[in-house]
Amino acid sequence: MGKLSIRRHADRDAAEAHYLDAVDRAAPGVPPLIAARREAKWQEALSGGGPILAAEADALGCSLQSVIDSVTAARSGWCESESAREAARIRAKTRIRHADTPADMHRAYTDYQAALEAAFSCEER
C-alpha cells in the first residue's frame, strides 16, 4: 500500500499560492532554442521563404513550397494543442482560486496533471 503524504499550509492563501505555482510549473514548455527556431521558420514561411527553409528543402530534397506547407501545418497543429493546454491551465488556476479547502486545490491540481498526461498520450499516437 502506498503512503499518502499530507502537506500542511500556514493558511488558505499559502495553500493557494502553492497550488497556483504547482500548476505553472507543471505546464509543459518548449526549450528556448527550439522555440526560437520554430518562430524563425514561421517568420520565413510567412514571407515566402528564407535561408533556414531553403536549407531544409535542400536537405530533404523537396521544394521550398513543400517545406512552407509543412511549417504552416505544424504551426496550425501546435496552436490548436497549445490553446487546449492553456485553457486547461487557466481552468485549473480558476478552480484553485475558488476552492474552499487545500484538499479541493489539490484535487484541481491533480485533475490538471491528469489532463496534461491524457493530452500528451494522445499526441504520441
Instruction: Provide the Cα torsion 85, 86, 90, 95; round to 10°.
Output: 0
pTM of the model: 0.72
Q: How far apart are the C-alpha atoms of 67 and 48, rounded to whole Å?
A: 10
Instruction: Give me 15's grid cell.
Output: 495553500
Is the predicted pLDDT of residue 123 greater than 90, yes or no? no
Which residue is associated with the grid cell 490548436?
Answer: 80
Nearest to residue 19, comparing CAs of 87, 84, 110? 110
Which of 21-35, 70-84, 92-106 has maximum average pLDDT?
92-106
**Mean predicted confidence (pLDDT) in 19-43:** 92
Q: What is the pLDDT of residues 40-67, one digit of tens each?
A: 999 999 999 999 999 999 999 999 999 9
Instruction: Please tell me the least confidently modeled range out of 14-18, 34-38, 118-122.
Output: 118-122
If pLDDT is split at 50, 70 and 90, which confidence band does 125 have? very low
Task: Report the chain's mean pLDDT, rounded to a whole number.
Answer: 90
